[in-house]
């Protein structure tokens, strides 16, 4: 396994090797089946959510607009990794150019930051709905929610722009393959022989400041929500208010738990098999887009009703 060592003037010809499941190359086609099904369900599920929110008038509410933004983000996460993952497993297409690798890691990390930010925005949505129910519709109008989505998307793209540009300027002379079937920022700087201090420090700061602040504000939002709900006299109203948050809490766990698990494995799991790292990496990029449509379809009554309405109309036709 070799990485082309080229001068700065010829970096566009540098190539990297992606990694499938080491030692299980003979079973790649079988391993690809559950992964392909997972991607397929994730894509169809999120497209279904987008279709329902667009076509069902009962879902034209701020909460479901944010859900649509989450679905777009999940589709972005899927499409960032799907071509290279299935390319490695189906066709042993392991070679990827520098530009392709930088673009892939840029979109993957951008959509990851976007997912974190959207989950924070959805927590604020639940906070406003429970804390200020009478002003909810006037505070979070459709155009305002759309503006929030655009701002969060631009924020996520800008956060990952600087390190991505630096990756294009690095010399890559350390032999070895990338750790996954897709490109990651930390993997690429591991193979660089240039000064990568900026990327290392910047990447750590962005994770702590961006995702860390998102987690902090989500916890703060739910602290205020819990205090507000406990102040409600009726037990039935308390349960009803908390039920509107269950889907979002599960979505938060589906995103942050795999990310935390992957971080722990990368930091402390040097003695573990590479298969563990690859499996955790696959779960971290596929699990949230796969589970979010399932969670909201099962736990949200309005989404269930919209799905049943579409199914019943299909049977009538």
Task: Report residue 214 as tokens.
Answer: 């998102």
Mean pLDDT in residue range 48-57: 96
Phi-psi region of 23 (alpha: psi -120 to 50; beta: other; left: phi over 0): left
- How far apart are the C-alpha atoms of 21 and 198, rounded to whole Å? 31
Rg for the chain, CA atoms, rounded: 21
What pLDDT, on a 0 to 100 scale, did the predictor assign at position 23? 92
C-beta atoms surrounding 19 within 10 Å:
21
Please determine, for residue 243, whether its predicted confidence score (pLDDT) is greater than 80. Answer: yes
Please determine, for residue 242, whether its predicted confidence score (pLDDT) is greater than 90. Answer: no
Assess contact for 102 and 164: CB atoms under 8 A.
yes
Least trusted range by pLDDT, from 75-84, 90-99, 149-158, 300-309: 300-309
What pLDDT, on a 0 to 100 scale, did the predictor assign at position 4? 43
Assess contact for 171 and 163: CB atoms under 8 A.
no
Instruction: Place 233 in a pLDDT band, splitting at 50, 70 and 90.
Output: low
Please determine, for residue 13, whether its predicted confidence score (pLDDT) is greater than 80. Answer: no
Please determine, for residue 26, whether its predicted confidence score (pLDDT) is greater than 50. Answer: yes
Spell out the domains of the chain, with CATH numbers in brackets: 10-316 (1.20.1070.10)
Instruction: Place 316 in a pLDDT band, splitting at 50, 70 and 90.
Output: low
Give residue for tokens 């300027």: 169
- How far apart are the C-alpha atoms of 182 and 106, rounded to whole Å? 11
Q: Please enumerate in sequence order all residues whose Cβ is within 8 A of that of 272, keeping only pairs 6 or more positions apart, or say none.
A: 265
Least trusted range by pLDDT, from 224-233, 239-248, 291-300, 306-315: 306-315
Q: What is the secondary structure of 179-210 as a DSSP string?
A: SSSS--HHHHHHTB-S--HHHHHHHHHHIIII
Please determine, for residue 146, whether its predicted confidence score (pLDDT) is greater than 50. Answer: yes
Assess contact for 20 and 28: CB atoms under 8 A.
yes
What pLDDT, on a 0 to 100 scale, did the predictor assign at position 266? 80
pTM of the model: 0.93
Mean pLDDT in residue range 267-294: 92
Q: 217-226: list long-range contacts, CB under 8 Å, 24+ apart.
A: 217/120, 217/123, 217/124, 218/119, 218/120, 218/123, 218/252, 221/120, 221/123, 221/124, 221/126, 221/127, 222/123, 222/249, 224/127, 224/131, 225/126, 225/127, 225/130, 225/131
C-beta atoms surrounding 274 within 10 Å:
15
Which helix (H) or strand (E) element contains residue 96? Answer: strand 95-97
Q: What is the secondary structure of 43-92 as a DSSP string?
A: HHHHHHHHHHHHH-GGG-SHHHHHHHHHHHHHHHHHHHHHHHHHHHHHH-
């Amino acid at each position: 396994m070799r990485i082309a060592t080229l001068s700065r003037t010829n970096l566009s010809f540098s190539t990297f090797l992606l990694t499938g499941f080491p030692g299980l190359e003979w079973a790649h086609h079988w391993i690809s089946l559950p992964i392909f099904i997972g991607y397929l369900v994730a894509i169809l599920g999120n497209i279904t959510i987008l279709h329902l929110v667009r076509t069902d008038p009962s879902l034209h509410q701020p909460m479901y607009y944010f859900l649509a933004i989450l679905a777009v983000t999940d589709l972005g996460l899927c499409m960032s990794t799907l071509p290279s993952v299935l390319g490695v497993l189906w066709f042993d297409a392991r070679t990827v150019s520098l530009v392709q690798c930088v673009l892939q890691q840029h979109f993957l990390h951008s959509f990851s930051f976007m997912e974190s930010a959207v989950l924070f925005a959805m927590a604020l949505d639940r906070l406003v709905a429970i804390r200020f129910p009478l002003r909810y519709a006037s505070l979070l109008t459709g155009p305002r929610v759309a503006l929030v989505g655009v701002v969060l998307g631009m924020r996520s793209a800008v956060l990952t722009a600087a390190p991505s540009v630096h990756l294009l300027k690095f010399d890559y002379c350390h032999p070895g393959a990338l750790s996954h079937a897709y490109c990651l920022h930390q993997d690429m700087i591991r193979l660089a022989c240039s000064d990568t201090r900026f990327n290392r420090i910047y990447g750590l700061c962005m994770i702590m400041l961006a995702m860390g602040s998102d987690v902090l504000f989500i916890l703060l939002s739910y602290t205020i929500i819990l205090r507000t709900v406990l102040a409600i006299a009726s037990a039935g109203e308390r349960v009803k208010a908390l039920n509107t948050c269950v889907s979002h809490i599960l979505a938060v766990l589906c995103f942050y738990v795999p990310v935390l698990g992957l971080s722990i494995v990368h930091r402390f799991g040097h003695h573990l098999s590479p298969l563990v790292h690859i499996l955790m990496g696959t779960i971290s990029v596929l699990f949230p887009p796969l589970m979010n449509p399932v969670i909201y379809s099962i736990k949200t009554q309005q989404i269930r009703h919209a799905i049943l309405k579409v199914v019943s109309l299909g049977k009538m036709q």
